[in-house]
A and B are shown apart, each in its own frame.
Chain A
């Protein structure tokens, strides 16, 4: 690889700092007592404790998945602290009441929360070390009957709704990490859009991992009732640490008849240093259920961080004529490993799905797309279109595509396209010969490559994503 390319992809993580907020951390280790402690701390109803214990018992009998194309040392689950929360403070009604230290953290991240919320009309539900410390715009949303709060709060305020839907899309024993999450999740977001309501603004959550070695087990549940629609944004970034941090979130989406849920993520967690030391392990289960007819669930993700990403936002298309979409950009650099993709499970008639995946590998990283398209015998007239493109920067990195296609209905149509391209020295030289430096050239090529996905993001998120990819690849070109 030319030195220009090498310099370009070797640049330190710009968001490496630790916020100094006192944490209330549970002792390390996992057993039934830990789970009872979490549940008690959170003042949970009996059924939820049972939910957790059932998950824990299933988890004990499960094994870590070995099939992803990623390598990492064995995780010691007894060395993790499963609960950490900022010191309890009085209830917050506005951003003014938020710890200024936290606000400064957001400043450093270039996401001035208050400004951002006001400018973009975004309601920001801040998850800070597993506990929500601020919720804005709640009143306005409440006026139209939308519930947008932390899941702990939802458990207290709307236990019926939570009990009705929690674990219905991702069952407690779905997979190793989902079971773990179900046992020990501490917080996350809850969102309920009642019948016929179009959410008047994008809902946004900034996740942030803060306390060293505190595993993060976020739980998100979004429900759109008949004819409801919502666009939900999730953005992440983490401070720099030397020890690996496990993150195993579960996100469940439920769309009833004619409902529409759009879920967008920009993820920029610490990926480790150039040798891959210290990055986040991101093992996430995200799944949406198109339960009703004509419902639609659309996942858009821009994955740029984490040492290891293991993530397959999926759609179960149960309602007739329902639509599932997955638009993804996954960028890996240095020693990062990503095994990501989607599952589209077609059960209903005339269900349709679209998959657009763009993988970008640089440095010594490894980037795999893994996708399943399954057409059940009941899914007459189902259609899928998949497009998986890989781009290589330099010659030390890898890209793989693992498409799994199972068609059990003869009337279904499934189309798969794949391509691999490379940013070569000759392309960069062409730009240079027109006066354009390597950084700008790479950023232009990458943005062109990702255009189909960026178009799916809400406007201000698209701008952020474009900058982020630039940051991840630009740097010290001398």
Chain B
């Protein structure tokens, strides 16, 4: 929901980043205000996941230029855990498996860490168990997942639900969901989408990274951005997603190149 009075949560300017010396992000500008839902679309390899990981502070990526402010704070000088505690959440495209660590234990530690940061009380294992089971019900998740190792042997769809569960527990100010829809069947997609819709409020923001429009049938974005070769090359409303669905991405790149050439000419 766009509201002219709402405050800017995340402001990215001219962001460039490299991995192993290769430049992947080539100058990204993006502003996200509270209450908004943004979709970032674009072909495979265009840098969407890289962008998400750079925002979250993945150590493999070097920021070479640009700024990122979150609620007025310079995000780039904070460690990844500090960013998370401030309320930046990344739902991973490929959630990693952590053998030997029980999901319940992991979820509780994450929850209590963030609670402590917010000056709230921690939950003991019994209290947390009740709390997490409620949240799982909403996502139609089997409570057995609490006893299993984090993501270990989870199907693609189960991993994605586990990501949304974590978002529901941590109540971030900005949730960046990287291809949360891929690998989900239609029922799972509906459940995950309704989970996201329930979490969306006027006080937080959601950035959906996807390359299918089908998720956007369930979650209505305020803005749709097209990313290509490390840049956001077009921004529009939700109708842009439909247009991309029918026409593909090539025309957007072509038009972008034309403007770019004209600008330099």
Contacts and interface: CB of A to CB of B under 8 A. Distances in A.
Interface string A1-43: 0101000000000000000000000000000000000000000
A218 to B, nearest CB: 34
Given A426-B96, A448-B102, A434 B57 contact: no
B201 interface: no
Contact of B98 (A4, A437, A445, A451): A445
A4 B110 CA distance: 19
B59 A433 contact: no
What is the interface residue range for chain B against chain A?
20 to 34
A418 to B, nearest CB: 15
A329 B163 CA distance: 32
Interface in A407-458: 421, 424-427, 429-437, 440, 444-445, 447-449, 451
A434 B59 contact: no
Interface in B58-74: 58-60
B84 A448 contact: no
A432 B57 contact: yes
Interface string B84-111: 1100011010011011111001100110
Contacts, number: 71
Contacts of A434: 84, 106, 109-110, 113-114, 166, 170
Contact of B149 (A424, A430, A431, A448): A448
A440 B58 contact: no
A437 B92 CA distance: 18
A4 B99 CA distance: 21
B222 to A, nearest CB: 25
A425 B99 contact: no
Contact of A433 (B56, B101, B117, B149): B56
Contacts of B92: 430, 433
Q: Which of A421, A427, A433, A451 has most chain B Cβ within 10 Å?
A: A433
A449 B100 CA distance: 5
Contacts of A424: 96
A91 to B, nearest CB: 49
Interface in A18-73: none
Contacts of B79: 432, 437
Given A425-B60, A440-B109, A435 B99 contact: no
A451 B149 CA distance: 12
Contact of A435 (B81, B95, B101, B105): B81
B80 interface: yes
B100 A435 contact: no
B99 A421 contact: yes
Interface string B166-186: 100010000000000000000
B246 to A, nearest CB: 35
B59 A4 contact: yes
A436 B59 contact: no
B84 A444 contact: no
Given A427-B98, A445-B101, A437 B59 contact: no
Contacts of B58: 429
Nearest to A448: B100
B113 A436 contact: yes
A4 B79 CA distance: 11
Contacts of B96: 424, 426-427, 430
B81 A436 contact: yes
A445 B100 contact: yes
Contacts of B99: 421, 448-449
Nearest to B94: A426
A436 B100 contact: no
Contacts of B109: 434, 436, 440, 444
Contact of B100 (A426, A429, A431, A451): A451
A429 B59 contact: yes
A324 B105 CA distance: 33
A427 B85 CA distance: 18
B113 A435 contact: yes
A430 B99 CA distance: 13
Most B-side CB within 10 Å, residue of A424, A431, A449? A431
A428 B147 CA distance: 21
Contacts of A451: 100
A449 B149 CA distance: 11
B58 to A, nearest CB: 5
B190 to A, nearest CB: 26
Contacts of B110: 434-436
Contacts of A435: 81, 84-85, 110, 113-114, 117, 170
Nearest to A426: B96
Contacts of A433: 56, 80-81, 84, 89-90, 92
A430 B92 CA distance: 9
Nearest to B88: A433
A421 B110 CA distance: 23
B106 A432 contact: no
Interface in B34-54: none
Given A435-B81, A436-B110, A425 B166 contact: no
A448 B113 contact: no
Nearest to A2: B59
Nearest to B107: A434
A432 B81 contact: yes
Contact of B84 (A2, A432, A440): A432
A184 B65 CA distance: 68
A327 to B, nearest CB: 15
Nearest to B90: A433
A430 B81 contact: no
A434 B150 CA distance: 13
Nearest to B59: A2
A451 B166 CA distance: 25
Nearest to B149: A448
Contacts of A431: 81, 106
Contacts of A444: 101, 105-106, 109
27 contacts: A2-B59, A421-B99, A426-B96, A427-B96, A427-B98, A429-B56, A429-B59, A429-B80, A430-B92, A431-B81, A432-B79, A432-B80, A432-B81, A433-B80, A433-B84, A434-B84, A435-B114, A435-B117, A436-B81, A437-B81, A444-B101, A444-B105, A445-B100, A445-B101, A448-B101, A448-B102, A451-B100
Given A4-B59, A436-B110, 8 more contacts: A427-B96, A429-B58, A431-B81, A433-B80, A433-B81, A433-B89, A435-B85, A435-B114
Interface of B: 56-60, 79-81, 84-85, 89-90, 92, 95-96, 98-102, 105-106, 109-110, 113-114, 117, 149, 166, 170
Interface of A: 2, 4, 421, 424-427, 429-437, 440, 444-445, 447-449, 451
Q: Which 3 A-B pairs have the closest CB atoms?
A: A448-B100, A434-B110, A432-B80
